[in-house]
Amino acid sequence: MEYNSFNQIDLPNLTVTEPNPSHALAFRRYASHAVARWHRAQVAAIRPHSDAPISHNFMGRVTDFDHFDLSEDLEIATWDSYPMGFLEDRVPADTPHKQLFMRQGDPDFQAFHHDLYRAVGRGRWWVAEQQPGPVNWAPSNPAPMPGMVRLWTWEAFAHGAEAVCYFRWRQAPFAQEQHHAGLLRPDSVDAPGLIEARQVARELAKYPDVETAQSPVALIFDYTSQWAAEIQPQGEGYDYFALVFHIYRMLRRLGQSVDILPPTAQALDGYSAVFVPGLLTIPETLRTALATCEGQVVTGPRTDLKTPELTTKVPLGPDLPGLDVTVTRVETFRPDVTLSLAGGGAVQFWLEDCETSADVLMRFGQQPVFMRSGARWHIAGWPDAVAARRMVTQVLEAAGLPVLDLPEGVRVRQAGAGRIWFNYANEQKDFGEISLPPAGVHWDAP
């Protein structure tokens, strides 16, 4: 596929078979830039008339355009947080998990987006719409467990939100959203969400303001890698968002507070551990930052195997100083198959054949799956929850970070000098001296 002039380039559709992946990726970049440029025109029209900060409300797991790019023209990033609707229609999780958290929403999906949009907003972010009760648009729409509207709100503030707004004030008695709960019922009586919103407002008044602070752990998220994975998944089980979220969830389950960083990050000073899963290509500035990072750096799976134009890097990647790993071949697997690892856990969906001089910490058969060379680590396959826990625990311990064995459904977030604890489980959970009822929130005296 060669072009002699720009005029020869069509849209990457209507091809006899699939289009060239490099062509498809270029189109995705173009489409994202078009959205950002259109948005810039809107901002330019407003600026002369107002000094107010300009924002935009993003959504959950929407990756069609590069949010980092668009938000350069915003003062504040905001997003619409619908924990239960999103659990049903977009959280990457299996049926038992969705049943378990049916009335709470996923324990990590909101936190992930709080951290993502804090990065998108360069520190300033809001929840523009907080789900206050059952909604109307998910496949099924139960009511939240009592206390969850309060918990979700606390979780947002724990991640540094400047504001949490509830959508909507009064449940509309007409049109498409007449089954979407508001803070008031359609007959203007207080709905359960309003009572919880009042409670959290009183509680927050007593909690010191939380300044945005750097977390000890960084995780890179890259919209281009999502597009590349959609264009060329190589296996039906591979999904970039799901992979990054999988690592994020394991960090949360082990008690970590996380910063999500764009691939354009220039410096990683102060991070004890940096995770770079699934990144299409490591940009030069990030490569330099990773090379000089004093913390632990974890690549893979599927990191830095391609050029920015979605062709294969030769010599074969990843290319990171201090990490001698060559991925000579990749395999993908039926989603109903797992490959057991000695010592516990398994690999699924994706596995790389690696040539390496690093220490091999985990193997599938003779094949290296988890490698370490000093403070540089590589994960060669998609680990299941058990394997991911083993891997992430080892990295955190090498980083000198405290690893918490939190009970199922319990999460914690460093907020200023204090910590805020959450219970997403259906029953009471105890951790050390902390006892959390269902939907319970607890904060250490900061």
Shortest spacing between CB 61 and a copy of itself, in angstroms: 18
Beta-strand (E) ranges in 315-397?
325-332, 339-340, 346-356, 359-364, 367-373, 376-379, 381-383
**Would you call 57 exposed, middle or buried from its count of C-beta atoms within 10 A (0-12, 13-18, 19+)?**
middle
Shortest spacing between CB 351 and a copy of itself, in angstroms: 8
Residue pair 143/171 in contact by the 8 Å Cβ criterion: no
173 closest CA partner among 186, 188, 190, 192: 186
Q: State which residue, 270 or 335, has the beta carbon closest to a copy of itself.
A: 335
If you search the block for the tokens 């969400």, which residue do you land on?
Answer: 193
Q: State which residue, 198 or 334, has the beta carbon closest to a copy of itself.
A: 334
Q: State which residue, 203 or 331, has the beta carbon closest to a copy of itself.
A: 331
User: Rounded to whole angstroms, how far apart are CA atoms 42 and 36?
Assistant: 10
Three-class DSSP category at 194: helix
Q: State which residue, 190 or 430, has the beta carbon closest to a copy of itself.
A: 190
Residue pair 102/139 in contact by the 8 Å Cβ criterion: no
If you search the block for the tokens 């995705």, which residue do you land on?
Answer: 28
Shortest spacing between CB 42 and a copy of itself, in angstroms: 18
Q: State which residue, 8 or 176, has the beta carbon closest to a copy of itself.
A: 176
Q: State which residue, 1 or 205, has the beta carbon closest to a copy of itself.
A: 1
Shortest spacing between CB 209 and a copy of itself, in angstroms: 35
User: Rounded to whole angstroms, how far apart are CA atoms 42 and 55?
Assistant: 11
Shortest spacing between CB 140 and a copy of itself, in angstroms: 5
Shortest spacing between CB 69 and a copy of itself, in angstroms: 24
Q: State which residue, 97 or 122, has the beta carbon closest to a copy of itself.
A: 97
What are the helix (H) ranges across 52-147? 67-70, 83-89, 95-100, 109-120
Shortest spacing between CB 443 and a copy of itself, in angstroms: 29
Q: State which residue, 59 or 172, has the beta carbon closest to a copy of itself.
A: 172
Helix (H) and strand (E) counts in the chain: 11, 20
Shortest spacing between CB 18 and a copy of itself, in angstroms: 6
Residue pair 378/318 in contact by the 8 Å Cβ criterion: yes
Please enumerate in sequence order all residues whose Cβ is within 8 A of that of 424, keeping only pairs 6 or more positions apart, or say none: 101, 104, 105, 107, 151, 409, 410, 411, 439
Q: State which residue, 218 or 327, has the beta carbon closest to a copy of itself.
A: 327
Longest alpha-carbon distance in the chain:
70
CA atoms within 13 A on the CB side of 377: 25
Shortest spacing between CB 329 and a copy of itself, in angstroms: 6
Q: Which residues bind a copy of itself (CB under 8 A)?
A: 1, 17-22, 88, 95, 98-99, 102, 133-134, 136, 139-143, 171-176, 178-179, 181, 185-187, 189, 191, 232, 234-237, 311-316, 328-337, 353
Residue 332: CB atoms within 10 A of its CB come to: 16
Shortest spacing between CB 379 and a copy of itself, in angstroms: 18
267 closest CA partner among 237, 295, 248: 295
Q: State which residue, 306 or 413, has the beta carbon closest to a copy of itself.
A: 306
